[in-house]
Amino acid sequence: MNDLELAFVLVKSRMGHEMEVMNEILKIQGIKEVMGTYGQYDIFVKVQGPTRSQIERIITKEIRAVRNVVSTTTLPVIPGRSNK
């Protein structure tokens, strides 16, 4: 059983810097997936950690600190709800 917390983060980056931002985010411990997207957001990030506070730290102190990140929107996953 996997007791790790999970969240998805929608990232807006400065135009023309999407790949650079994606590569930097991939270097952060706790990041499980990073995908480029079209539309309102540029990057979709899957974050996993042992606690909700650890995920919050990854987002606020690490993802938001990446150069050319303009904003983030976090979607925390409700524990115990999955389509396994």
> The domain spanning residue 13 has which CATH number?
3.30.70.920
Report the alpha-carbon distance of residue 81 to residue 84 in Å, rounded: 9
Q: What is the mean pLDDT of the chain?
A: 93
* 62 domain residue, yes or no: yes
When pLDDT is averaged across residues 58-77 and rounded to a whole number, the result is 97
The residues, ordered by sequence, that sit 6+ positions from 41 with a Cβ below 8 Å of its Cβ are: 10, 11, 12, 73
Task: Give residue 29's domain range.
Answer: 5-76
Phi then psi dihedrals of residue 68, to 5 deg:
80, 10
Give the per-residue pLDDT at 79.
78
* 84 domain residue, yes or no: no
Q: How many domains, the chain?
A: 1
For the question of whether the overall pTM of this predicted structure is more than 0.75, the answer is yes
Question: In angstroms, what is the C-alpha Rg of the chain?
Answer: 13
* 38 domain residue, yes or no: yes
Is 64's pLDDT higher than 50? yes
* 82 domain residue, yes or no: no
Higher pLDDT, 38 or 79: 38
